[in-house]
Amino acid sequence: MEVILKQDVEHVGFKDDVVSVKNGYGRNFLIPQGFAQLATASAKKVLAENLKQRAYKEKKVVEDAEKKVKALAELTIKIKAKVGSGDKLFGSISNMDLSEAIDKAGFEIDKKFITIPGRLIKRTGSYSAKIRLHRTVVMDFPFEIIAEAKPQKKKAAKPAPAPVKVEAKQEEE
């Protein structure tokens, strides 16, 4: 079954793509949820006309995405995480953590556009994630996971001796 996607659907396609999906998936999920419409001959003609009209606007969006790629390439992100023995993390780092770190640096990127190979990172070191800024503009973004500084543990000191009170007797007159 061929459908025209009305919005980006993960692992299927992008908005305004004509894709082939299994009949049940299209009929029971994509179309009722409003994610797609049936790709009839008339719907394809309407889509082609809309894409022609959007081509100029799309060009500007791609240029903006490429500028953002250049700016992001200069950015270095180091995410601090609590570390146990060796280089193993307590918990893990995901695309949400990377998205928050990039937001703090001044670039707003939604977590759904960031893909980390293996989905979760559980050790310190250097890694690379794919950031999709546009359907045609995807960049590899290097970042690093570093250990949080561990607080210094104080040695148990001997308790200080209690202060001795010295009372001076006053002479009575």
pLDDT digits (tens, 9 = 90+) for 122-144: 888 899 999 988 888 889 989 99
Query: What residue ranges of the chain are covered by domains with CATH 3.40.5.10?
Result: 2-61
C-alpha 148/C-alpha 82 separation (Å) is: 5
pLDDT at 1: 93
For the chain, list the strands marked E by DSSP: 2-5, 18-20, 36-38, 78-81, 88-93, 114-115, 121-123, 125-134, 137-147
In this predicted model, which residue has the larger pLDDT, 16 or 153?
16
C-alpha 91/C-alpha 145 separation (Å) is: 13
64, 72 contact by CB (below 8 A): no
Task: Tell me if the domain spanning 73-147 has CATH number 3.10.430.100.
Answer: yes
pLDDT band of 107, cuts 50, 70, 90: confident
pLDDT band of 168, cuts 50, 70, 90: low
72: enclosing H helix or E strand: helix 41-73
**Which residues are within 8 A (CB) of 144 and not within 5 positions of it... i.e. 6 or more apart?**
76, 77, 78, 79, 125, 126, 127
108, 136 contact by CB (below 8 A): no
Query: What residue ranges of the chain are covered by domains with CATH 3.10.430.100?
Result: 73-147
pLDDT at 36: 94
pLDDT at 26: 93
Residue 16 has pLDDT above 80, yes or no: yes
C-alpha 53/C-alpha 11 separation (Å) is: 27
Task: Tell me if the domain spanning 2-61 has CATH number 3.40.5.10.
Answer: yes
Measured CA to CA in angstroms, residue 110 lies from 96, 102, 113 at distances of: 8, 10, 6
Percentage of the chain exceeding pLDDT 90: 24
